Amino acid sequence: MTDDRIKVVMAGAGGRMGKAIIRCLLNGSVPGLQLHGAVDLWDCPDRDKDAGLASGAGEAGVAITTDLAAVGPGADAIIDFSSHHGTAGNAERIAGWNTGWVIGTTGLDAEGKAAVAKAAESVPVVLAPNMSVGVNLLFVMLEQAARALKGKGYDVEIIERHHRLKKDSPSGTALGLGEAVARGYGVDLDKVAVHGRSGHIAGIRPDEEIGFHAVRGGDFVGDHTVVFATGGESVEFSHRATSRDTFAVGALQAAAWVAGKPAGLYTMKDVLGLA
C-alpha cells in the first residue's frame, strides 16, 4: 500500500517556528502531510532527538539531524525557517532536487534574494515574510488604501512588537507591510524608509516617507500596526498574533499547495487565492 501523503522536510526544526510547524503537522492541522525529515544546525540543543517529542507532539519516528542533503531530495516540499545564511546557502542545491520550497526565513539580503530567485527558475518556491491569512489579507488592503490615499497628505508610520529574542529588525512582516504601502504610493521603499528617529530632525517630514519603529521585549508573538495620519484624523490597520500556530498552519498550507507546482517564485497571496 502506497502512502500518498505529501512528504515534508522541516529546516530549522529546533527553532520556535520549526517546533510549532512540526507539532501542527503531526496533529493534522493540515491533512495529507507526512513529516519526512527534520534538520537544524550542529549546535541545535535538540539534535538527534525525535522531532515530534522535541516539539511536544509525541513521537514522530523522525530525528532532528544536520544533513539536509540526506532528506531533501526525497521530499515533496521543504519548509525553511532556518536563517538567512542557511536559506541563501542551500538555494543552489535545492534547485537541483525537484522539490517545492516554502521560505519563511526573514532577513535575506539582496544576494540571498537573488539566490532564491535563481532557484525558482528550476523549482516552485513560496517566499513570504508572514504566512498567516490575516497578515496576507492586510498586505492586499494596505496597497489598496495607499493607492486611495496617495497625494492626500497622509503620513505613514509602521510600529511592530516582537519578543526579546528576535534577531532581525524591523521584522520581515513590517517590511512586507511597508512594501505594500510603497506599491500603492508608487514609490521605492528603500528610498523612502526611515528606521527609528533620534535627535533633531532638520526640515519637515517628506510626504512619501514611511517610518518604521521596532519594539523588542517580553514574549510578543507579533504585533503590527500601520498608521495613516493627516491633519484631523488617522486611519490604523493592525494585526496581532497570539499564537505561532497561525503562522505554522499557513506554512503547512503553503507546503501542501507548492508540491508539484511548476517552477516559479510565488507568495502567500498565490497560496491563499488573494493574488
pLDDT tens string, the chain, 275 residues long: the values are 457 999 999 999 999 999 999 999 999 999 999 999 999 999 999 999 999 999 999 999 999 999 999 999 999 999 999 988 899 999 999 999 999 999 998 888 899 999 999 999 999 999 998 899 999 999 999 999 999 999 999 999 999 999 998 888 999 899 999 999 999 999 999 999 999 988 887 778 888 999 999 999 999 999 999 999 999 999 999 999 999 899 999 999 999 999 999 999 999 999 999 87
Position of cell 494585526? 239
Same fold yes or no, 6-127+244-272 and 133-241? no
Q: How far, in Å, are 50, 142, 162, 170, 225 from residue 100 at the CA level? A: 24, 29, 29, 28, 32
Q: Which of 49, 150, 166, 269 is catalytic?
A: 166
Domain 6-127+244-272, CATH number (from 3.90.650.10, 1.10.10.10, 3.40.50.720, 3.40.640.10): 3.40.50.720
Q: Which of 7, 36, 84, 162 is catalytic?
A: 162
261 part of the active site: no
Taking the domains of the chain in order of start, what are their residue ranges?
Answer: 6-127+244-272, 133-241
133-241 homologous superfamily: Dihydrodipicolinate Reductase; domain 2 (3.30.360.10)
239 part of the active site: no
Contact in structure between 6 and 99 (CB atoms under 8 Å): no
Contact in structure between 161 and 208 (CB atoms under 8 Å): no
